[in-house]
Amino acid sequence: MTGPLHQLKIIELGHVIAAPLSTALLSDFGADVIKIESPNRTDMMRDLGPKAEDGVGVWWKTLGRNKKILSLNWKSDDGRDILRKLVESADVLVENFRPGVLERAGVGPDTLHEWNPDLIILRISGYGQDGPMRDVPAFGRAAEAFSGLAHLTGFDDGPPMHPGFPAADGTTGLMGALGIMLALFAREKGTARGQVVDLAVFEALLRLMDYPVPALTGANHSPRRNGLRQPMDFAPGGMFRTSDGVWLTVSAGSAETAQRLLRAVGGDALADDPRFATLAEMSQHMSVVFDAINDFVTQHTLAEVEAEFARHDAVASRVLSVEEVTTNDQVRYRGDIVSVEGEQTQVVGPVPHMSATPGELRWLGRAPGADTRSILRDLGIDDQQIAALSAAGLVGLDGGEKKQ
């Protein structure tokens, strides 16, 4: 089946995680992504982290999925001409260099829009394209600290902590994909032609965390990290360990579900306690609730906890390891772990699931320059010219170029 974005052409000048993830998310749904790498300096994600049996970095395999790979020195005069040809027929260009890099190379937004007035340009940077910190370098961890995420993660008497995955880069990739789609929608509706989507890495986290700012400004409440409990602790829950050593998380998001949870762990006496009549009242006595849940869970096995929670329709979920995630029946049934023919490496499949135009994993990350020759041919550059460009070091070719 044809993906919903099959006519969308994207040029990626991205590197590492944030920008490449935004294009990978769109490539899952049919977008034609051409990733440009320098002939002498490929994306570091090719080498970062563990390698698959074929020697290719597994992180690259998923960030480079479904993308054509063009090896091009786009900062050279001839390379700039090739970039122009690509841009003239593209819908989107994505980059995540420090502010000013494109401008110094002579391909800033003004120039790109001269070449193609309808081009959507996604610019991802540490702190944004303007403001007093525009030139300050930043990576994902800096953004996690700057956004307040690290401040809210960890125990109250311990240091701030980063989450166990690149949260800033991941959420930025997701927000970047959203920004592209919003700009494309505005273009389609005639509201705007090509526009620049300016996204700071810290901003995606700031928006998705959401509640700390209104909590402070509207209620004069400053959330603090709270260990195994939520920073705001507005509803019962937390992380607990059963008597047979299994970690699980318990949660309730409404007064009704909270009452079911309390009845499961403490019976009618706890559930009917007037201190817990509403979530607002319960939040004033959350330490009592937390201790009650902890006492119950730590004194029972996982099977006993699950049985009692099921009897009261209360919510508890085991903390799954990566091994358990990849073999879980529900995850497998949903088709969320996928691969392609001839590949041992599996990756997370396209999300969300769509009934008529589902996403598709077509291939995993390719070799440097894997599609250079075919892309240049499509631009009308003949083999003699390609050979000259290669000899001059302006493009890189891969002898094992894959057929599509």
Residues serving a catalytic function are 169
When computed from its CA atoms, the radius of gyration of the chain, rounded to whole angstroms, is: 25
d(CA 376, CA 267): 71
d(CA 21, CA 94): 11
Residues 369, 39 contacting (CB under 8 angstroms): yes
Give 205's Cβ-side CA count (13 Å radius).
26
d(CA 138, CA 395): 30
Which of 371, 364, 238, 362 has its CA nearest to residue 295? 238
- Which SS3 state, helix, strand or coil, does residue 74 take? coil
* DSSP-assigned states of every residue in 253-279: -SHHHHHHHHHHHHHHHHHT-GGGSSH
The burial class, CB within 10 Å (0-12 / 13-18 / 19+), for 74 is buried
d(CA 291, CA 275): 15
Which of 143, 157, 152 has its CA nearest to residue 221? 152
Note the helical H segments in 195-276: 201-209, 212-219, 255-271
Enclosing H/E stretch for 87:
helix 77-88
Query: For residue 250, which phi and psi values (nearest 5 degrees)?
Result: -120, 140
